[in-house]
Amino acid sequence: MELENLSIRDLNKKLKAKEISSLELTEFYISQIEKKDDDIKAFLSYSFDEAKKQAKKADEVISSSDDISLLCGIPFAVKDNILIKGQKATAASKMLENYNAPYDAFVIEKLKEKNAVFLGKTNMDEFAMGSSTENSAFFCTKNPHDKNKVPGGSSGGSAAAVASSQAVYALGSDTGGSIRQPASFCGVVGLKPTYGAVSRYGLIAMASSLDQIGPLTKTVDDAEIVFDAILGKDKKDATSVAYPEKMAKSGLSEITIGIPKEYFVDEVDPNIKDIVKKQIEELQSAGAKIKEVSLPNTKHALSVYYIIMPAEVSSNMARYDGIKYGYSKQHGQDLSDVYFNSRGEGLGNEVKRRIMLGTYVLSAGYYDAYYKKAQKVRTLIVDDFKKAFEEVDVLATPTSPTVAFGFSEKTKDPLSMYLADIFTVPVNLAGVPAISIPCGSLDGMPVGLQFIAPWFLEKNLFLVGKEYEKLKQN
């Protein structure tokens, strides 16, 4: 099999057997990037010299020990809102164009301990706000399946890098769908872990009660390996927890898959509904039980998200004031001119739109009507999931109501762009884990199947996901 199609486990075997060195593997991926990235534009910056150094170190570890980590010596890519000490972290914003990270994110520390190899930082929507990567302040990334289409977003660079075999795997972040939706658009696997399973320390904050880091990979097993490597309690993120041991299922015959009727409504492309339903039927034939369930508050999820998320965004974005760090325009009459000019020039339109929305919903007189009300409905959405999971083990839905769309198709109408997140945001509001797995194609573009599990039961997602992949191989 070609090197670019080998899974993490296969590569690990080859490295251990000394059939290939990490340096050779890294040089292969660097050559892939040199060949493909001028066209795809998945990366914002490369760290090839650093990668080769890390690969040499991994080779030393491999030659001195039989017991190496599965990720030792394996090259991967990182979304540009995750900090790697000494490297740029722009979050695809002019505001942070020249910002160098002074420390490693928790997930990077974990991967460094495992001697992983960093190839570079990937493109994204500015500060992770968007669904197409068109909000990057620098350039658009192309979908490897059709270069006239968007890769999804906001982790569009990470999804495109994995889909075009420019990295074995990539890290992304998911606040309302930003790992799963681009994974679905680019035909790769994307996992949004349970809120609190992975530390957010060193992730440039968007909306702190929703943000979570996770992997984009080619297979479910790869996603599980990366997830296992990055999870865990971190004293620097008070919302992270020691991952609880829960009883997972051991086979498909023990699994009941719930089909939430609110996810198969008229607004979804009928072809996508058909494809997804057929996949669920295949799982049924392979032994899973199927049950229709209802999550009645799904219809409010997008409205709730677009109140809570901007509220948190407006507060997190306050730190970019032209004084502390980042883009600074020090001309004008007084301090408020510095603020206005730095933020006015340093931030893009979508970010400004959300700061304004968020400031509005938090302002005196509106707080109760919007923010507090939205928090109450958020609790109802959480309760919907709790009830559904009393009856079923996982839920199956489409990841996105459409396949990848064309450039500029939705940029003029923010509302139509927001609708791309309709099936992914409820998951973030509830904090449950979900995975998107490629499940077919429509007009040549990949379709994603989303499985959602109860809090800290990622194992059930991996079980169903792997069984599903096996069915597809046969």
CB-based contacts of 423, cutoff 8 Å, min separation 6: 177, 263, 397, 398, 399, 400, 401, 450
Candidate ranges 105-113, 170-178, 247-255, 432-440; the one touching ligand GLN (CB under 6 A): 170-178
Cβ closest to ligand GLN, residue 119 vs residue 357: 357
Which among 93, 136, 154, 165 is annotated as catalytic?
154
DSSP for 161-197, please give it: HHHTTSSSEEEEE-SSSTTHHHHHHHT-EEEEPPTTT
Cis peptide before 158 (omega within 30 of 0): no
Smallest gap, in angstroms, from Cβ of residue 351 to ligand GLN? 10
Q: Is 236 a catalytic residue?
A: no
Among 131, 199, 219, 314, binds ligand GLN (CB under 6 A): 131
SS3 401: coil
Mark the segment that binds ligand GLN (CB under 6 A) among 108-116, 128-136, 266-274, 283-291.
128-136
β partners of residue 450: 397, 436
Q: Which of 93, 178, 240, 342 is catalytic?
A: 178
- Asked if 421 interacts with ligand GLN (CB under 6 A), we say yes
Helix (H) or strand (E) holding 359: helix 349-362
User: Nearer to ligand GLN by C-beta: 102 or 406?
Assistant: 406
Burial label, 247 (beta-carbon count in 10 A; 0-12, 13-18, 19+): exposed
In the complex with ligand GLN, the residue whose CB is nearer, 206 or 272, is 206
Q: Does 262 bind ligand GLN (CB under 6 A)?
A: no
Whether 195 contacts 82, CB under 8 Å: no
Please give the residue whose beta carbon sits closest to ligand GLN in the complex: 178
State the nearest-atom distance from the C-beta of 359 to ligand GLN, in Å. 17
From the list 191, 133, 218, the residue with the least C-alpha distance to 420 is: 133
Query: By CB under 6 A, is residue 175 in contact with ligand GLN?
Result: yes
Ordered strands of the 445-452 beta sheet: 43-46, 117-122, 75-79, 169-173, 213-217, 189-192, 434-442, 445-452, 394-398, 256-260, 289-293
Of 186, 19, 178, 199, which Cα lies nearest the Cα of 92? 178
With binding defined as CB under 6 A, does residue 176 bind ligand GLN?
yes
Q: How far is the CB of 244 from ligand GLN (least distance, A)?
A: 25
165 is catalytic: no
Among 12, 122, 178, 219, binds ligand GLN (CB under 6 A): 178
Contact flag: residue 452 with ligand GLN (CB under 6 A): no
Judged by CB under 6 A, the residue of 177, 322, 431, 448 near ligand GLN is 177
- Asked if residues 99 and 137 have their Cβ atoms less than 8 Å apart, the reply is no
Nearer to ligand GLN, 46 or 407 (CB): 407
> How many positions of this chain bind ligand GLN (CB under 6 A)?
13
Instruction: Identify which range of 103-111, 168-176, 289-297, 456-464 contacts ligand GLN by CB under 6 A.
Output: 168-176
Question: Under the criterion CB under 6 A, does residue 388 sit at the interface with ligand GLN?
Answer: no
Tokens of 108: 């990077």
Q: How far is the CB of 130 from ligand GLN (least distance, A)?
A: 5
CB 275, min distance to ligand GLN, A: 22
Segment contacting ligand GLN (CB under 6 A): 126-134, 252-260, 265-273, 280-288? 126-134
Write out the binding residues for ligand GLN, residues 181-240 only, by CB under 6 A: 206
Task: Pick the closest to residue 178 from 127, 251, 234 (CA basis).
Answer: 127
| Residue 372 burial (CB count, 10 A) | 12
Of the candidates 79, 88, 149, 218, the residue annotated as catalytic is 79
- Helix, strand or coil, per DSSP, at residue 328: coil
Smallest distance from ligand GLN to CB 80, Å: 13
Q: How far is the CB of 61 from ligand GLN (least distance, A)?
A: 34
**3-class SS of residue 100:** strand
The residues facing 289 across adjacent strands are 256
Smallest gap, in angstroms, from Cβ of residue 264 to ligand GLN?
Answer: 21
Work out how close the CB of 172 gets to ligand GLN at its nearest, in angstroms, rounded to a whole number: 9
Cα(434)–Cα(187) distance, rounded to whole angstroms? 16
Write a three-state SS string for 279-314.
HHHHHHHCCCEEEEECCCCHHHHHHHHHHHHHHHHH
Tokens of 143: 């979908």
Secondary structure of residue 119 in the 3-state scheme: strand
Q: Is 151 one of the binding residues for ligand GLN (CB under 6 A)?
A: no
Listed ranges 15-23, 123-131, 280-288, 322-330: which one lies at the site for ligand GLN (CB under 6 A) = 123-131
Q: Which of residues 275-314 bind ligand GLN (CB under 6 A)?
A: 309
Active site residue 79: yes
Q: Which residues bind ligand GLN (CB under 6 A)?
A: 128-131, 154, 174-178, 206, 309, 421
Residues forming the active site: 79, 154, 178
